[in-house]
Amino acid sequence: MSEELIIEEETKESEEKRGFFSRLVSGLTKTRDNIISGMDSIFSGFTKIDEAFYEELEEVLIMGDLGVQATDSILEDLREKVKAMHIKEPSECRQLLIDSIKEQMDIGEAAYEFEDRTSVVMVIGVNGVGKTTTIGKLAGKLRSRHKKVVLAAADTFRAAAGEQLKEWADRAQAELIGGQEGSDPASVIYDAVAAAQARHADVLLCDTAGRLHNKKNLMEELKKMNRIIDREFPDAYRETLVVLDATTGQNALMQAREFNEVADITGIILTKMDGTAKGGIAVAIQAELGIPVKYIGVGETIEDLQKFDADTFVNALFTTEKPEE
C-alpha cells in the first residue's frame, strides 16, 4: 500500500473511532450527569479528605448503580492510594478514582471470536429488554462485514416476537427460521441449524425466551437447545449472550446473576444505555460477576450497537468534552 493510502486508511480509522467515542459520550449524558457531576461537586466542595468525603463519594457511586461490591472495592482502593501517596487535596482524587473504576472493570479483554468463526450465538433475555432489536442490530453489524447470517426465532412463546424479528431479518438481509406460536423452541433450533449448514452461514443467531419466573424449566429448555446444537453442529463456535436493559439498574444486575445460574454465559449486552442515568450498572455487572459486557446499545439504529470497552467507557463517562447535540 502506498504511503498516501496508508495515511488515508489511518485517518478513516481514527475518524471512525472519534465518531464512535462521540456517540458514546452523548449516549452516556444522563449517566454522566448523575454520577460524575455528583462526584465533581464533592471534589470541589470538600476542602479535606475525611470520613464525610468518603461517605459522600460512596453515596454517589451507589446512587449511580455501581453496586455495593464495586463501590466498596473502589473506595478501599482510593483510601489506600490516598494514604500511600500522602494526598491531601480532594481534587487529586479524581484521577485516582477513574483509575480505580477501570481496575474494577478490568476482567480481561472481551473476545469477539464468534464474529469471525462459524458460530452459533444463543441470545437470552426477558421480555422487553430490547432483545429482538439487539439481535437485529447484531445481524446488521455482521452483514455489513459481509457475513452470512441466519436468525432462529426460538422465542416461540409470543407470536409478536417472531414477527418483529422477521422485520429485522428483512432489514439486515438475513434469513429467518421460525416456528408456530407455542411450538417447541428446540425444534426451531434444529431447523435453523440445518438451514445454517445448508446455506453455509457464518453465524446463526438464536432468539430464545428467558422466563426467569420458572428457572428450572428455563434451564431444561436451554439445555435441550444446547444438546441439539452440540449434536448437530459440533464444530460450531459457541456463544451465549444475555441481553439486559440498563434502565432497570439493579434489576438488570439481578437478572444477570440469575441467568448466570442457569446458563454458561459468555457475555452481556446492555441496552438503552443512551436513555438512562443508570449506566454505572456496567461497572457493577463486570466487577461483580466477572462476565464481560460485550456490546452496549446507545440508540435505536444499527450503528448504535457498539462493542464495549471498559477503558473507553470510563473515559467517556469522565470526559469533560461536551456531547454533540
* Contacting residue, 67, 130, 140, 178, with ligand GTP by CB under 6 A: 130
* Strand partners for 176: 151
Q: Does 90 bind ligand GTP (CB under 6 A)?
A: no
Q: Does 208 bind ligand GTP (CB under 6 A)?
A: no
Q: Does 255 bind ligand GTP (CB under 6 A)?
A: no
| Part of the chain binding ligand GTP (CB under 6 A), chosen from 14-22, 230-238, 295-303, 308-316 | 295-303
Contact 153, 167 (CB under 8 A): no
Contact pattern from residue 96 through residue 125 relative to ligand GTP, giving x for each residue in contact according to CB under 6 A and a dash for the rest? -----------------------------x
- Amino acid at the residue 293: V
* Contacting residue, 299, 312, 315, 323, with ligand GTP by CB under 6 A: 299
* Strand partners for 237: 119
Q: Which three cell numbers stand for residue 149?
A: 447470517
Q: State whether residue 144 is helix, strand or coil.
A: helix
d(CA 108, CA 99): 15
- CB-nearer residue toward ligand GTP: 6 or 160: 160
Q: What is the CA radius of gyration of the chain?
A: 22
d(CA 235, CA 72): 43
Please report, for residues 13, 53, 138, 251, the alpha-carbon distance to residue 244 in angstroms, rounded to integers and kept in the order given. Answer: 30, 33, 15, 9
d(CA 121, CA 233): 12
Contact pattern from residue 257 through residue 276 relative to ligand GTP, giving x for each residue in contact according to CB under 6 A and a dash for the rest? --------------xx-xx-
Q: Does 162 bind ligand GTP (CB under 6 A)?
A: no
> What does the binding site for ligand GTP look like in residue numbers (CB under 6 A)?
125, 127-133, 161, 164, 271-272, 274-275, 297-300, 304
Binding residues for GTP: 125-132, 207-211, 271-274
Could you list the residues known to form a binding site, using ranges.
125-132, 207-211, 271-274
